[in-house]
A and B are shown apart, each in its own frame.
Chain A
């Protein structure tokens, strides 16, 4: 099975030539060339929207190229579908896992494996393989009870059971703590030592420098460079990815904090969905002029916490939130806005904005009940104040550099970064006293991210209290005065940003602050 690749030392394991993929008028991949060698970790770098996912989906057979060729071990072929890719020896670990939470690890695996691999004692093979590669996994555990890192191990072990020659990993560390990431790197090193190739997609440059042998950089659907990550610096890689040098955030230490504007005391909240995260005894307070950041791996209760603070999760929390010195129990999201709060959810499309509505309609979305415009936007039987909405739209567009095809374009026509600038700008334009923002720059290009972060710092220095929920440690260190960590619905104490190292945060992400479950359950 494996002697094929050994015979042809000069034939790359996988080579794509002039690969192009169009979606309608949009060119996602523009005649890309790339070759991957056995026994190496090959990095695929690029900002969101650069075309990385499209490229690997074609390699994995879940998309078909518009033109161009894919060669596998020197032979040109069409990867018909993911099952075909797996037969060839290509395994892929997706960013979002497709696992059934109500089933055990072994049940999930047997659902995803071809029949011949299901035979025999699958649990035993999983247990031995996972301990072999340093990926501890209990085959009988329910997926719902596992951390995101453990779920990722399921996907990796599932790929390894099929003895892949090429393993594609799509931003694997986005959901891991720094310590978990190091363990993953050890596994990857072991795999390449055994002759497997790894295609490693990321935008985290430090880790690319740490483990990758080659790097291909994509920008706007084209290959802009092939580099050796060992000789490049993170700064030169970033410049290649973005195409320009990135604006430096200007942040002065802030000694001038005022009264507490947002406070949660002993907040408990039962999730409204079966596999959501319950919040346990949350305590936090944000003062005027302060930025408090909540770090944590995705899926540890951030969405639920945001929903409870915004009021969208309904009134199942136990009246332990105080906003602008008012108890918030029973207040809905608009009443909370009227107290001076503003909210920016994680998902900009479908939650913060509606795709097919115009920008002015999207301003109306969050501001129709706010009393902070010159006159009310909703004039009842007099209709909606379109003129004022148009003025607001152009102000927001100018102040936050929202680039759009037409003045009042549909939200769906904006790029991710521009839409995020719009959604953030819509709220900042109100000069809120309290801002709660979940993943402020998730999937946004570096230029837009810098603008948004600067705007948040500027707002806080004008005396607003800001609560940032983020997975991105770089962002947290750039923004935060105070840092806490959320893990399994529990929040650590807050620490001054200057006191903490990445490793400290990593330990807390892994749950070092969690109370004993038996105690908290009582």
Chain B
């Protein structure tokens, strides 16, 4: 018997919807198996991981707080990947945006006005975009692969942040802890709920809706789809591949930078060596799980946010390392990419006489 992948004559729209569902199911099953082999009760662990975070208001709030940056970065990356531009360095752009926006509270601490917050948000987006222009420039000028450059720049940004909070921007009254001054007043985002929900969540949702509309109904969205899938047809339509690379890095870098600023001006409230639990990398999974569609990204962002809170939950209740979060996220990306194969291919089992068990009801 032989198993072959056979190209479908047309992409299956059914599998396009089913692929994330299948991937999530496989992740849950594999997760249960992992818990079981660790000697933990799998059903309890899975309940704690996926359901428990949604049973109390404060943990739902935490899920939303985590989903905010994931959605904001994820929608930018979704557009990027759709255009066949591979920005893997959103984590670095997030850090750069946070650093740039933090200039206002750290260097201009006395400037208290709503405009200060607006300037911080703009500087955050600008910082992320400018940092993303480095791989964009290297790609368009020298043809350097943007996957490598954007990824390696992450570590540069993180080390720069580390040095800034241990050196020039260390709080002089902070007992030598590696932290900046705490942001105050108009240098913080408006908060509500039990005190953790903030304006950033609204920004994320609005950005996702705007990008959804843009991708569907605007020529720019059309340009992204054409240039990404058929570069020569893009040239025939008069779209520039080079400009598309710049646009994608500006957009995704800017949104990542904005997310970084929102984190430090929201839940964290100051600069410190670690400002993100790898939101920039997790957003890559969010983008794919959301089918590179901004609305899908909103739901995917919520799901991945649950995985963060659930990871903390199992650590507290069952004493399992919070590294399980990364294991789950890794499995999810692995399965989603695997299941995506089924959109374009069907599986066939070949024996002497042909048995047909393709995954698509036709």
Q: Which residues of A contact B (CB under 8 A)?
A: 23-26, 66, 310, 312, 332-334, 343, 345, 347, 350-357, 361, 364-366, 368-369, 378, 380-381, 383-384, 410, 412-413
Q: How many Å lie between the Cα of A410 and that of B219 in the bound state? A: 19
Does B219 contact A368, Cβ atoms closer than 8 Å? yes
Q: How many Å lie between the Cα of A501 and that of B221 in the bound state? A: 51
Please give the distance in Å from B249's CB to the nearest CB on chain A. 22
Q: A333-B236, A355-B230 are in contact. List 17 more A-B contacts (CB 8 A).
A: A23-B6, A24-B6, A24-B8, A24-B346, A66-B354, A310-B236, A312-B235, A312-B236, A350-B232, A354-B226, A354-B229, A354-B230, A354-B233, A365-B226, A365-B233, A366-B237, A410-B10
Within 8 Å by CB of B9, from A23, A347, A378, A380, lies A23
| B 229-245 contacts with A by CB, 8 A | 229-230, 232-233, 235-238
Does A366 contact B236, Cβ atoms closer than 8 Å? yes
Query: Which chain A positions have C-beta within 8 A of B362?
Result: 25
Query: Which chain B positions have C-beta within 8 A of A66?
Result: 354
Q: How many Å lie between the Cα of A250 and that of B60 in the bound state? A: 74
Q: How many Å lie between the Cα of A413 and that of B11 in the bound state? A: 11
Does B218 contact A384, Cβ atoms closer than 8 Å? yes
Chain B, residue nearest A345 (CB): B236
Query: Which chain B positions have C-beta within 8 A of A364?
Result: 219, 222
Does A350 contact B7, Cβ atoms closer than 8 Å? no
Say whether B196 faces chain A, with CB atoms less than 8 Å apart.
Answer: no
Does B237 contact A368, Cβ atoms closer than 8 Å? yes
Query: Which chain A positions have C-beta within 8 A of B218?
Result: 380-381, 383-384
Does A384 contact B226, Cβ atoms closer than 8 Å? no
Complex A-B: 9 CB contacts under 8 Å: A24-B7, A312-B236, A356-B11, A356-B229, A357-B226, A368-B219, A368-B222, A380-B219, A384-B222
Query: Which chain B positions have C-beta within 8 A of A361?
Result: 222
Within 8 Å by CB of A383, from B217, B233, B236, B238, lies B217
Q: How many residues of B contact A (CB 8 A)?
A: 23
Query: Which chain B positions have C-beta within 8 A of A25?
Result: 9, 362
Please give the distance in Å from A371's CB to the nearest CB on chain B. 14
**Known contacts A364-B222, A378-B219; A351/B233 CB under 8 A:** yes
Please give the distance in Å from B292's CB to the nearest CB on chain A. 14
Say whether B139 faces chain A, with CB atoms less than 8 Å apart.
Answer: no
Within 8 Å by CB of B238, from A23, A26, A332, A381, lies A332
Report, nearest first, the 7 A-B pairs whose CB atoms are least far apart.
Answer: A383-B217, A334-B238, A351-B232, A354-B230, A378-B219, A333-B238, A365-B237
Please give the distance in Å from B360's CB to the nearest CB on chain A. 10
Please give the distance in Å from A393's CB to the nearest CB on chain B. 15
Please give the distance in Å from A317's CB to the nearest CB on chain B. 16
Please give the distance in Å from B145's CB to the nearest CB on chain A. 20
Say whether B166 faces chain A, with CB atoms less than 8 Å apart.
Answer: no
Say whether B40 faces chain A, with CB atoms less than 8 Å apart.
Answer: no
Query: Which chain B positions have C-beta within 8 A of A347?
Result: 232
Q: How many Å lie between the Cα of A333 and that of B239 in the bound state? A: 9
**Known contacts A357-B226, A383-B217; A352/B6 CB under 8 A:** no
Query: Which chain B positions have C-beta within 8 A of A332?
Result: 238
Residue pairs across A and B with CB atoms within 8 Å: the count is 71
Q: How many Å lie between the Cα of A312 and that of B238 in the bound state? A: 8
Q: How many Å lie between the Cα of A350 and that of B218 in the bound state? A: 22
Please give the distance in Å from B232's CB to the nearest CB on chain A. 4
Query: Which chain A positions have C-beta within 8 A of B7?
Result: 23-24
Q: How many Å lie between the Cα of A384 and that of B226 in the bound state? A: 15
Please give the distance in Å from B332's CB to the nearest CB on chain A. 26
Q: How many Å lie between the Cα of A357 and that of B237 in the bound state? A: 14
Does A357 contact B225, Cβ atoms closer than 8 Å? yes
**B208-234 vs A: 1/0 string, CB under 8 Å?**
000000000111001001100110110
Query: Which chain B positions have C-beta within 8 A of A353?
Result: 233
Query: Which chain A positions have C-beta within 8 A of B226?
Result: 354, 357, 365
Q: How many Å lie between the Cα of A410 and that of B13 in the bound state? A: 13
**Known contacts A24-B8, A351-B233; A369/B238 CB under 8 A:** yes
**Known contacts A23-B9, A384-B217; A352/B238 CB under 8 A:** no
Does B9 contact A24, Cβ atoms closer than 8 Å? yes
Q: How many Å lie between the Cα of A356 and that of B12 in the bound state? A: 12
Does A351 contact B236, Cβ atoms closer than 8 Å? yes
Q: How many Å lie between the Cα of A447 and that of B346 in the bound state? A: 34
Query: Which chain B positions have C-beta within 8 A of A345?
Result: 232, 236
Query: Which chain B positions have C-beta within 8 A of A410?
Result: 10
**Known contacts A23-B9, A24-B9, A25-B9; A352/B236 CB under 8 A:** yes
Chain B, residue nearest A368 (CB): B219
Q: How many Å lie between the Cα of A364 and that of B217 in the bound state? A: 12
| B 101-128 contacts with A by CB, 8 A | none
Please give the distance in Å from B176's CB to the nearest CB on chain A. 53
Q: How many Å lie between the Cα of A23 and that of B7 in the bound state? A: 8
Chain A, residue nearest B358 (CB): A24
Please give the distance in Å from B208's CB to the nearest CB on chain A. 18
Q: How many Å lie between the Cα of A365 and that of B235 in the bound state? A: 10
Chain A, residue nearest B8 (CB): A24
Does A350 contact B217, Cβ atoms closer than 8 Å? no
Chain B, residue nearest A355 (CB): B230
Query: Which chain A positions have C-beta within 8 A of B237?
Result: 333, 365-366, 368
Query: Which chain B positions have C-beta within 8 A of A365?
Result: 226, 233, 236-237
Q: How many Å lie between the Cα of A105 and that of B346 in the bound state? A: 42
Q: How many Å lie between the Cα of A345 and that of B237 in the bound state? A: 12
Query: Which chain A positions have C-beta within 8 A of B217?
Result: 383-384
Chain B, residue nearest A365 (CB): B237
Q: How many Å lie between the Cα of A83 and that of B6 in the bound state? A: 24
Query: Which chain A positions have C-beta within 8 A of B8?
Result: 24
Query: Which chain A positions have C-beta within 8 A of B346?
Result: 24
Query: Which chain A positions have C-beta within 8 A of B219?
Result: 364, 368, 378, 380, 384
Chain A, residue nearest B345 (CB): A24
Q: How many Å lie between the Cα of A351 and that of B346 in the bound state? A: 27
Please give the distance in Å from A416's CB to the nearest CB on chain B. 15
Please give the distance in Å from B124's CB to the nearest CB on chain A. 25
Does A343 contact B238, Cβ atoms closer than 8 Å? no
Please give the distance in Å from B127's CB to the nearest CB on chain A. 28
Q: How many Å lie between the Cα of A380 and that of B237 in the bound state? A: 16
Q: How many Å lie between the Cα of A291 and that of B8 in the bound state? A: 42
Query: Which chain B positions have C-beta within 8 A of A310?
Result: 236
Query: Which chain B positions have C-beta within 8 A of A366?
Result: 236-237
Query: Which chain A positions have C-beta within 8 A of B11?
Result: 356
Query: Which chain A positions have C-beta within 8 A of B6?
Result: 23-24
Does A350 contact B233, Cβ atoms closer than 8 Å? yes
Please give the distance in Å from A102's CB to the nearest CB on chain B. 19
Query: Which chain A positions have C-beta within 8 A of B233?
Result: 350-354, 365
Query: Which chain B positions have C-beta within 8 A of A355?
Result: 229-230
